[in-house]
Amino acid sequence: MQTISSREFNQNVAKAKNMSDIAPVCITDRGQPAYVLMNYAAYKALQEGKPSLAEKLSDPASDWIEVEFPRCIIADREELF
């Protein structure tokens, strides 16, 4: 994976885009990996075969999963009107 600093990225976005056409580019912030820039074809290849959240939730095999959400109280109804 190619690496570019965030400063260099900000100064030359076109260079980073050209680099990402070859392979994903790691953008560092203060020397630490912070972001990855890749072209759309590479992104789509990563997403292939992965079901969406809706597909995961509608899968009959996931019926055994129990999810309980805590009740959220926003405010008294009188305060809202």
Quote the domain boundaries for residue 30.
Answer: 2-49
pTM (2 d.p.): 0.61
Does residue 78 sit within a domain?
no
Task: Read off the CATH number of the domain in which 6 is found.
Answer: 3.40.1620.10
> In total, how many domains does the chain have?
1
pLDDT digits (tens, 9 = 90+) for 9-58: 999 999 999 999 999 999 999 999 999 999 999 998 888 878 887 887 78
If one compares 3 and 55, the residue with the highest pLDDT of the two is 3
Q: How many C-beta neighbours within 10 Å does residue 24 have?
A: 15
CA 3, CA 7: separation in Å to the nearest integer? Answer: 12
Does residue 37 sit within a domain?
yes
Does residue 60 sit within a domain?
no
Residue 80 pLDDT level (bands cut at 50, 70, 90): low
If one compares 13 and 77, the residue with the highest pLDDT of the two is 13
Does residue 29 sit within a domain?
yes
